[in-house]
């Protein structure tokens, strides 16, 4: 069995069983939330970038990149409420005559 076949076997095992990932739970729905997890990770990266800006403790953390990641992840988390449960866009309410 060569390396490619071994990697294929490992890949198939991971596809079948999956890799357990831990998510933060949304405080409203009490369900695991990927978007909340990404938001909290981006907040911590942003804090590391701010500490690096003033104290140079964490090398290699860029403030501009951390801010862009924070903006994108917060738009993902707060923008998910703009769609209804079926995943389609919300319709504007009809005007009453």
63 band by pLDDT with thresholds 50, 70 and 90: confident
Mean pLDDT of 43-62: 81
- Whether the model pTM is above 0.75: no
Specify whether the CB–CB gap between 17 and 10 falls below 8 A: no
The per-residue pLDDT for 3 is 80
Query: Over 70: is that where the pLDDT of 91 sits?
Result: no
Domain spans in the chain, listed from the N-terminal domain onward: 23-81
**In the prediction, which pLDDT does 55 show?**
76
pLDDT at residue 42 tops 90: yes
């Amino acid at each position: 069995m060569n390396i490619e076949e071994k990697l294929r076997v490992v890949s198939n095992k991971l596809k079948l069983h999956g890799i357990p990932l831990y998510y933060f739970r949304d405080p409203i729905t009490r369900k695991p939330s990927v978007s909340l997890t990404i938001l909290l990770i981006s907040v911590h990266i942003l804090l590391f970038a701010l500490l690096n800006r003033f104290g140079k403790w964490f090398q290699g953390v860029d403030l501009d990149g951390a801010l862009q990641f924070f903006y994108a992840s917060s738009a993902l988390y707060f923008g998910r409420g703009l769609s209804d449960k079926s995943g389609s866009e919300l319709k504007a309410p009809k005007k009453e005559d």
